[in-house]
Amino acid sequence: MAATKPMTISLPADLLRETQRLASVEATTPAKLVELALRQYLTSRRWQRLRQWGADTAKRLGLKSEADLERFLRRTRPRTRGRRR
């Protein structure tokens, strides 16, 4: 596991209470809950950016359906000899 560094954050009172309550229920620390929440947020943002890139690329290429995508891939992928996987 990577070394940790301390960081001070400020939370609204209600969010702090809920974090402390949940940490107690889940037998963990408030810091661990915040770490997990931040990791989940960052993962969600990465997926959001990837989906947006895909939508932008599809629009730029004029792809409006999965059938359009399949036709595009058949036209642009190099043909390979031998068996398919």
Phi, psi of 3 (to 5 degrees): -65, 145
For 53, 59, 68, 77, 81, the CA distances from 46, given in Å and listed in that order, are 11, 20, 26, 27, 36
**pLDDT tens-digit readout, 16-65:** 999 999 999 999 999 999 999 999 999 999 999 999 999 999 999 999 99
Cα angle: 43, vertex 4, 13; to 5 degrees: 70
Lookup: tokens for 71: 């036709």
Query: Which residues have a Cβ under 8 Å from the Cβ of 16 and sit 6 or more positions away?
Result: 30
Q: What is the CA radius of gyration of the chain?
A: 23
Domain boundaries, the chain: 27-76
The predicted model gives 58-74 an average pLDDT of 94
